[in-house]
Amino acid sequence: MTKTRIATPDLPRGESLTARDARFRDDPHPVYDQLREQAPRYADTAYGRTVLTRFEDVRATVRHKQFSVDARLSKPGSYLRRIAGTGVNESAGDSAYEPPLVLLDDPDHRRIRLLMSKAFNPQSIEAMRPRIESITGELLDACAGRDRIDLIADFAGPLPTQAILEMMGMPGSAREDFKRWSEDILMGYDPERDAATQARLREAYLAMGREFRRVVEARRDEPRDDLISAMVRAQEEQDRLSDLEIISLCTQLMVAGNVTTTDLIGNGVYALLEHPDQLARLRAQPELVEAAVEEMLRYDCPITETARIPRNDDTVNGCPVSAGETLTASLAAANHDPTAFPDPHRFDISRANNAHLAFGSGIHVCLGAPLARLEGQIAVRELLARCPRLRLDPQRPPARRALPFFRGFTSLPLLLD
């Protein structure tokens, strides 16, 4: 890491360093490459943050034991303060907000993560395989006979929402409401959101919370074999989870678990279709699907960045950082650092040593990674098996979400015939 903060006038800053900017949204890598080479510790003065783009710095930052994820420790006016709110805790009389796991520090983080880790360990997730396969089959059955689909609306969107609802023991009929609320809640990550968007975000957060509260109460009266019943049981046995914590966890699992996995499938299928040689390889060798999904995660990762705040003046790889500074760790840039990934802009479904940071690293590493991987592998494998002529629709260009953090398509029209 270089020892100086660099604010170079010709480098983009603020909004143009986010997916709100059309060029950056289309392909952020020319900018990331420039930052990594010229200003790997870049002072984005417009948004009050320092952007880190080198693999080693990003990894060290997200793993740093003394750094916090609590936005309240960041300096007033910083990027993290702009994006962290749901609006719920800010209005008088609302008591529906509890920070999500990813924004909790120890000891609360450790206590809740431990309780959740059983439900999300690789064995428990492997037990979900038959259900994920049948949800995938049902969605593809509904596409059969059509000559065109929108991959997001018809397949990649509903699949993870349905999977997480089933884990929670909730009816699939609620799928569309939950997907819509999840998309609205994500708008909390738009640093430039207007009052109307903020109101929609707040409503979605409260509506989702009400729905989860109803299920928590029902499971307390009549437990079943599902995730919400397990959380209620943990609460009763050890008095370690409050109702609000359960509801907040459910909200986070829903939001973190569904849009991101939709984006893994959307970004991954798009990368395959843009690289016909790799698509042909995967069709010829379906057993490469696990490695292919890892490369999809590296090449076009669904969560592009995260943040940490030093509690005190400190260092990252020997370089000083100050208390309260918002450190934006760019996972997307780190995943294209040539020192960690040779020929990083090449999409190679059998890439060796693919230790990407798409799921983060350290104590906050993605809890749902085994589930996301399983869904991604089944979705890609079945889609290719069922659709031998799958290709982009030249008449209808895809559209990407204009939102920082969550990189994915809002629409990805494909031809099947």
Interface map 346-365 toward ligand HEM (x if CB under 6 A):
------------xxx---x-
- Which segment (41-49, 221-229, 301-309, 312-320) binds ligand HEM by CB under 6 A? 301-309
Question: Is residue 266 a contact residue for ligand HEM (CB under 6 A)?
Answer: no
Contact between 264 and ligand HEM by CB under 6 A: the answer reads: yes
Q: Is 267 in the site for ligand HEM (CB under 6 A)?
A: no
Rounded to a whole number of angstroms, the minimum distance from the CB of residue 369 to ligand HEM is 6
Positions of E strands within 145-279: 148-150
Binding of residue 303 to ligand HEM (CB under 6 A): yes
Closest distance between ligand HEM and the C-beta of residue 308, in Å?
A: 7
Q: x/- site string to ligand HEM, residues 151 to 190, per CB under 6 A?
A: -------------x--------------------------
Binding letters toward ligand HEM, positions 92-111, x by CB under 6 A: ---------xx---------
Interface residues for ligand HEM in 239-258 (CB under 6 A)?
252-253, 256-257
* Shortest distance in whole angstroms from residue 8 CB to ligand HEM: 27
Query: Of the two residues 143 and 303, which places its CB atom closer to ligand HEM in the complex?
Result: 303
- Collapse the DSSP code of 300 into the 3-class scheme (helix H, G, I; strand E, B; otherwise coil) and give the result: coil
Shortest separation between residue 380's beta carbon and ligand HEM, angstroms: 12
Is 230 near ligand HEM (CB under 6 A)? no
- Residue 45: phi, psi to the nearest 5? -65, -30
- Give CA–CA dist 373/411, Å, rounded: 22
- Answer yes or no whether residue 51 interacts with ligand HEM by CB under 6 A: no
Residue nearest to ligand HEM (CB): 368
3-state DSSP of the chain: CCCCCECCCCCCCHHHHCCCCHHHHHCCHHHHHHHHHHCCEEEEHHHCEEEECCHHHHHHHHHCCCEECCHHHCCCCCHHHHHCCCCCCCCCCCCCCCCCHHHCCCCHHHHHHHHHHCCCCHHHHHCCHHHHHHHHHHHHHHHCCCCEEEHHHHHHCHHHHHHHHHHCCCCHHHHHHHHHHHHHHHHHHCCCCCHHHHHHHHHHHHHHHHHHHHHHHHHHHCCCCCHHHHHHHHHHHHCCCCHHHHHHHHHHHHHHHHHHHHHHHHHHHHHHHHCHHHHHHHHHCHHHHHHHHHHHHHHCCCECEEEEEECCCEEECCEEECCCCCEEEEHHHHCCCCCCCCCCCCCCCCCCCCCCCCCCCHHHCCCCHHHHHHHHHHHHHHHHHHCCCCEECCCCCCEECCCCCECCEEECEEECC
62 forms part of the interface with ligand HEM (CB under 6 A): yes
Of 208 and 301, CB closest to ligand HEM: 301
- Residue 305 Cβ vs ligand HEM, minimum distance, rounded to whole Å: 9
Residue 367 binds ligand HEM, judged by CB under 6 A: yes
Residue 113 binding ligand HEM, by CB under 6 A:
yes
Smallest distance from the beta carbon of 327 to ligand HEM, in angstroms?
Answer: 11
**CB 132 to ligand HEM: min, Å:** 11
Instruction: Decide if residue 261 touches ligand HEM (CB under 6 A).
Output: yes
306, 63 contact by CB (below 8 A): no
Give 351 or 356: the residue with its C-beta nearer to ligand HEM. Answer: 356
Residue ranges binding ligand HEM (CB under 6 A): 62, 101-102, 113, 164, 252-253, 256-257, 260-261, 264, 301-303, 306, 331, 358-360, 364, 366-368, 371-372
